[in-house]
A and B are shown apart, each in its own frame.
Chain A
Amino acid sequence: MSYQLPKFRHPDLPVNALGYTRADYEGSISTLCAGCGHDSISGAIVRACHELALEPHKIAKLSGIGCSSKSPTYFLGKSHGFNSVHGRMPSVVSGANMANRDLLYLGVSGDGDTASIGMGQFAHAVRRNLNMVYIVMNNGCYGLTKGQDSATADAGSASKKGDPNPFSAIDLPGLALQLGATFVARSFSGDKGQLVPLIKAAISHRGFALIDVISPCVTFNNNPGSTKSYDFVREHAEATGTVDFVPMREEITASYPAGRSQEVTLHDGSVLHLEKLAPDLDPFDRVSAMVALQRHSAEGQILTGLIYMDKDSRDLHDIMETSRRPLNSLVEEDLCPGDKVLANINASLR
């Protein structure tokens, strides 16, 4: 069951450029377990969209099946949503994006939904550079069917059931880099300071933007021995650097230490400030990103933050040279060649 949130809000809540409060970006009350990492991610999405003053009805939120895929109900209540088929959200977004290039597509998936049943669709959405934000709420287990290991569970990690997982893990950022992804990040549901600007940057990116968010399952996979627990991730996460995101309309007010920081202007005019902590990573170099990921993994560390970004990314519409007008807005005059053309075609078939 889901419940509507009470409508009452404090009258002095801050409003954004559209006059919306953060509450205007919320959804129904979550029915996930208390303390679920996914709810924090929903909160980060709400905050990012509110702060960017995005029009909610210009966002489409789509998901597959699983706990993660239930969560779009819990944010952006004014946006259209689509809870589709297990592992098949990327294809639905692909079609939706072809139909209307002007909406923002926010895909939410889980580790089972992406790394197992949906691996094929995930891989192909990446290689087509479909313009979307793809958030994986990654908890290393199947929550909705009560805690089976998923394909992102680390070898040797044990869930609440106690048996260590015997298989090697699929690392989604590593895989995405190999497949040619143009924006790859990893974060942690417990680190909103890092996650919110990453979501904003992913939204501004033109092309496929993956954020793999480690999001502990409090019920089945938050025990000692699990590498996806709150404690383990807090102890082992190592950030690539801090990220600050400044939308195009806003003035830059913060000051950044010289030397270690870098400014990147995105295609829509927004600016990304990166303060580097990992000295060996150049997030604009794919090889460097792959090496850094592998090295941290070998050292038992979880690399988080912006891992890779292609500043000159061309999305699927650019590649296919589709009309700049959304295809779903075309009418008979644009689409139907008429009877005269058909008469010529008939003549060629006699």
Chain B
Amino acid sequence: MQALQSVNEFVIKFANVNGTGSASANNLFAKAIFRMGLPVCPKNIFPSNIQGLPTWYEVRVSERGYLGRRGGVDIMLSVNPQSMPQDIKEVEPGGYFIYDNTKPLDLRLMRNDVNIFGIPLTRICNEEYEDPRQRQLFRNVIYVGALAALLDIDFAVLTGLVEDQFKGKDKLILPNIHALELGYQYAQEHFECPIGIRVRASDKVGDNILLDGNTALGLGAIYGGATVAAWYPITPSTSVVDAFERYAKRLRIDPGTGRKNYAILQAEDELAAIGMVVGASWNGARAFTATSGPGLSLMSEFLGLAYFAEIPTVLFDVQRAGPSTGMPTRTQQSDVLSAAYASHGDTKQVLLFPSTPKECFDFGALSFDLAERLQTPIILMTDLDLGMNDNMSPPLTWDDARRYDRGKVLSAEQLEQMERYGRYLDVDGDGICYRTIPGTHPEKGAFFTRGTSRDEYAVYTEKGEEYEKNMHRLMAKWETIKEWVPRPLETQSEQETDTAILFYGTSEESSMEARDYLAEDGVPLNAMRVRAFPFNQEVADFIARHERVFVIEQNRDAQLRTLLMAEFELGPDKLKSVLCFDGTPISARNIRKQILQQMPGYNVTPLRRERMVAGAENRS
């Protein structure tokens, strides 16, 4: 049997039971690789549960810097008998299956084309530890130690990480190092180490950091000057506000009084959360909420009011698979349409699509400037994959000379000089009007905020002409918005081509990797990453320049494609779909396959039939 051989390019997956402390052990593994100078991309695939269900942790190691999901598994480390039948099937031919052989492997699961390594993890723990919880926790650390031997990980890096991790809880350091050594020694004594797949220290990480998007968003809100956060707990967005609070406790306490320069309200539901954001923003504070699909649905009524009343509103939507009880811990990009046209009446909402933690930070802070400049809701669309997984990212930076853009807000002095103030009067032709903050001036600038039954001076009216005039102005504002939102990023193919890919958010890494594969297949592709809605003119031009454009996204209904077709009035022929909606991040192999199948002249087996073959998608 042929064994896979690779240095610094592989996929390893850990199969475990949730609630057993596996997350921190797996994280230790990924961080060790990262500290050896190798780009890593860990992805946590976890159940909507606290304890007892299968959980996986997939780590992509790629010296070439491919950070998306590749597809396929080279090494499977399985300590969960519950998922073992599925786990062993997933291993690539020639790959490695490492499992806890305290109980022997079911013979029916045996595969002859896979290298199988048994480590009696449970037995080692039972012999070493008395306490049942220790037996459970250290089992995970022991397998990390074993992997260090099997993959040739620098043991000193691991011990250094343990020391960092338990700084301040020093008595935990030695027992953890001991557990690492137990695994290391067992592997050294029983197997030929290292195996065909191994790591070698490199220098490809540079000054990058390893950070999850939600923490980056929380920090973005701190740096962007948010003072009010209102939210309702929902996976996978909860850690956004957790991070905001954690950093606010450190960075936002008034040094003189010890009081808080922020307020966090855990609301009774998402309706209240967005209402609080609208109220705070109306009153001149920078405020935000974070939620996911079901919350976005509940917030829809207020989003319409904020659109029509033109109240700056910031919402971070960390997308997941729907609906409410669907697959709340699995990733998708499936809120695009419901966010873009959120609410009743003629509404269009501004969306931002970050694709790295650095962009979560930058766009997070930018959201507050845009919301105030454009006086409308800004919905930042991230997803579980970006939000809850550690992603390698350029470091976060801030220009200390930067000032917040508060947009068109009238001061008391400006009001004093005005004859008559009109809240919804477009005085300079960009569709954006001047607003006032309550309490600014004793006599001038007060008005009654309401939906649409009002004229340019915010005086109540139900006249159709006034309504229409206002709606036309909002469309003029929509045109202005296109000039303010982040522009798309384009990558030209070295070869002449009439075919392109277009993607957004977390599909970037896999799409760009697939593009490299397809160039080798003789399908050169230009690429565009869309970063905002409304679409800028560049997006229209890019699509117009190509014969066919593959729109890559992680939902069933090709939501961004639908949006492009609606906004640009395109027919269905030009834009093709590449989709993934099984709740896992889209993989490069999957993208390559779907594009090849839709290329003219390509002899295809229909996609549907092929999908019926179990696992075909991952292994093709």
Interface residues of A (CB under 8 A from B): 1-2, 28, 55-58, 60, 62, 72-73, 77-85, 88, 90-100, 102-103, 120-121, 123-124, 128, 320-324, 327-328, 330-332, 334-339, 341-343, 345-346, 349-350
B279 A336 Cβ-Cβ under 8 A: no
| Min CB–CB distance B297 → chain A (angstroms) | 15
Contacts of A96 in B (CB 8 A): 279-280, 282-283, 438
25 CB < 8 A contacts A-B: A1-B461, A2-B460, A28-B460, A56-B446, A57-B446, A73-B448, A83-B450, A94-B265, A96-B279, A96-B282, A97-B279, A98-B279, A99-B227, A99-B281, A100-B284, A100-B438, A102-B439, A121-B272, A321-B260, A323-B257, A323-B259, A327-B261, A332-B403, A335-B252, A337-B251
Closest 4 CB pairs of A and B: A91-B275, A95-B279, A99-B285, A95-B280
| Min CB–CB distance B181 → chain A (angstroms) | 25
Known contacts A58-B439, A91-B276, A124-B268, A80 near B446 by CB under 8 Å: yes
Known contacts A82-B448, A345-B219, A95 near B227 by CB under 8 Å: no
Contacts of B395 in A (CB 8 A): 342-343, 346
Q: Which of A91, A95, A121, A342 contacts B281 (CB 8 A)?
A: A95
Known contacts A95-B279, A100-B285, A78 near B446 by CB under 8 Å: yes
Whole-angstrom CA separation of A321 from B398 in the bound complex: 29
Does B73 touch A at the CB level, under 8 Å?
no
A99 B398 Cβ-Cβ under 8 A: no
Q: Please provide the chain B residues from 232 to 272 with a CB less than 8 Å away from any CB of chain A in the complex.
A: 251-252, 254, 257-265, 267-269, 271-272
> What string of 1s and 0s marks CB contacts (under 8 Å) between B447-462 and chain A?
1111100000001111
Does B396 touch A at the CB level, under 8 Å?
yes
CB-based nearest A residue for B219: A345
Contacts of B280 in A (CB 8 A): 95-96, 98-99, 327-328
Does B495 touch A at the CB level, under 8 Å?
no
Q: Which of A73, A91, A350 contacts B209 (CB 8 A)?
A: A350
Whole-angstrom CA separation of A90 from B282 in the bound complex: 14
Does B104 touch A at the CB level, under 8 Å?
no
Known contacts A78-B443, A92-B276, A94-B265, A60 near B283 by CB under 8 Å: yes
B228 A339 Cβ-Cβ under 8 A: no
Does B223 touch A at the CB level, under 8 Å?
yes
> What string of 1s and 0s marks CB contacts (under 8 Å) between B557-596 and chain A?
0000000000000000000000000000000000000000
| Min CB–CB distance A107 → chain B (angstroms) | 11
A95 B283 Cβ-Cβ under 8 A: yes
| Chain B residues touching A, majority SS | loop
A124 B272 Cβ-Cβ under 8 A: yes
Known contacts A324-B259, A335-B227, A99 near B287 by CB under 8 Å: yes
Q: Which of B400, B439, B447, B462 contacts A81 (CB 8 A)?
A: B447
Whole-angstrom CA separation of A338 from B539 in the bound complex: 34
B305 A84 Cβ-Cβ under 8 A: yes
Contacts of A327 in B (CB 8 A): 227-228, 261-263, 280, 285
Does B487 touch A at the CB level, under 8 Å?
no
| Min CB–CB distance A1 → chain B (angstroms) | 7
Does B437 touch A at the CB level, under 8 Å?
yes
| Min CB–CB distance B460 → chain A (angstroms) | 5
| Min CB–CB distance A106 → chain B (angstroms) | 12
Whole-angstrom CA separation of A80 from B309 in the bound complex: 14
Does B617 touch A at the CB level, under 8 Å?
no
Known contacts A91-B276, A98-B276, A336 near B398 by CB under 8 Å: yes
Contacts of B287 in A (CB 8 A): 95, 98-99
A94 B276 Cβ-Cβ under 8 A: yes
Does B163 touch A at the CB level, under 8 Å?
no
CB-based nearest A residue for B448: A81
Contacts of B404 in A (CB 8 A): 331-332
| Min CB–CB distance A28 → chain B (angstroms) | 8
Whole-angstrom CA separation of A96 from B285 in the bound complex: 8
Contacts of A324 in B (CB 8 A): 257, 259
Whole-angstrom CA separation of A342 from B262 in the bound complex: 19
CB-based nearest B residue for A82: B449
Does B522 touch A at the CB level, under 8 Å?
no
Whole-angstrom CA separation of A103 from B459 in the bound complex: 23
A88 B302 Cβ-Cβ under 8 A: yes
Contacts of A323 in B (CB 8 A): 254, 257, 259-261
Whole-angstrom CA separation of A341 from B279 in the bound complex: 31
Q: Please provide the chain B residues from 354 to 412 with a CB less than 8 Å away from any CB of chain A in the complex.
A: 395-400, 403-404
Contacts of B208 in A (CB 8 A): 350
Whole-angstrom CA separation of A335 from B400 in the bound complex: 12
CB-based nearest A residue for B446: A80
| Min CB–CB distance B256 → chain A (angstroms) | 10
CB-based nearest B residue for A320: B263
Q: Which of A60, A83, A92, A103 contacts B278 (CB 8 A)?
A: A92
- Given A57-B438, A91-B276, A94-B272, 6 more pairs with CB closer than 8 A: A83-B451, A84-B279, A85-B305, A94-B279, A98-B276, A349-B210
Contacts of B479 in A (CB 8 A): none
Whole-angstrom CA separation of A330 from B265 in the bound complex: 19
A322 B260 Cβ-Cβ under 8 A: yes
Does B442 touch A at the CB level, under 8 Å?
yes
B398 A95 Cβ-Cβ under 8 A: no
Contacts of A93 in B (CB 8 A): 279
Whole-angstrom CA separation of A278 from B441 in the bound complex: 45
Whole-angstrom CA separation of A84 from B279 in the bound complex: 9
| Min CB–CB distance A323 → chain B (angstroms) | 5
Whole-angstrom CA separation of A324 from B259 in the bound complex: 8
CB-based nearest B residue for A121: B272
Whole-angstrom CA separation of A55 from B440 in the bound complex: 12
B439 A339 Cβ-Cβ under 8 A: no
B271 A57 Cβ-Cβ under 8 A: no
A84 B275 Cβ-Cβ under 8 A: yes
Known contacts A55-B442, A80-B439, A120 near B269 by CB under 8 Å: yes
Contacts of A103 in B (CB 8 A): 283, 438-439
Whole-angstrom CA separation of A322 from B227 in the bound complex: 10
Does B277 touch A at the CB level, under 8 Å?
yes
| Min CB–CB distance A328 → chain B (angstroms) | 4
Q: Please provide the chain B residues from 493 to 510 with a CB less than 8 Å away from any CB of chain A in the complex.
A: none
CB-based nearest A residue for B280: A95
Contacts of B278 in A (CB 8 A): 84, 91-92, 95
Q: Which of B207, B230, B398 contacts A342 (CB 8 A)?
A: B398
Contacts of B398 in A (CB 8 A): 336, 338-339, 342
Does B430 touch A at the CB level, under 8 Å?
no
Contacts of A28 in B (CB 8 A): 460
| Min CB–CB distance A12 → chain B (angstroms) | 22
Counting chain A CB atoms within 10 Å of each CB, the highest count among B205, B251, B280, B440 belongs to B280
B210 A91 Cβ-Cβ under 8 A: no
Counting chain A CB atoms within 10 Å of each CB, the highest count among B222, B275, B404, B450 belongs to B275
A88 B272 Cβ-Cβ under 8 A: yes
Whole-angstrom CA separation of A102 from B274 in the bound complex: 22
Whole-angstrom CA separation of A79 from B285 in the bound complex: 18
Q: Please provide the chain B residues from 454 to 490 with a CB less than 8 Å away from any CB of chain A in the complex.
A: 459-462
Whole-angstrom CA separation of A88 from B282 in the bound complex: 15
Does B342 touch A at the CB level, under 8 Å?
no
Does B211 touch A at the CB level, under 8 Å?
yes
Does B152 touch A at the CB level, under 8 Å?
no
Contacts of A82 in B (CB 8 A): 279, 282, 448-450
CB-based nearest A residue for B438: A80
Whole-angstrom CA separation of A21 from B262 in the bound complex: 38
Contacts of B260 in A (CB 8 A): 320-323
Known contacts A88-B272, A98-B276, A338 near B400 by CB under 8 Å: yes
| Min CB–CB distance B162 → chain A (angstroms) | 16
A57 B439 Cβ-Cβ under 8 A: yes
Whole-angstrom CA separation of A73 from B458 in the bound complex: 11
| Min CB–CB distance B221 → chain A (angstroms) | 10
Does B225 touch A at the CB level, under 8 Å?
yes
A92 B460 Cβ-Cβ under 8 A: no
Contacts of A85 in B (CB 8 A): 275, 301-302, 305
CB-based nearest A residue for B212: A349
| Min CB–CB distance A66 → chain B (angstroms) | 13
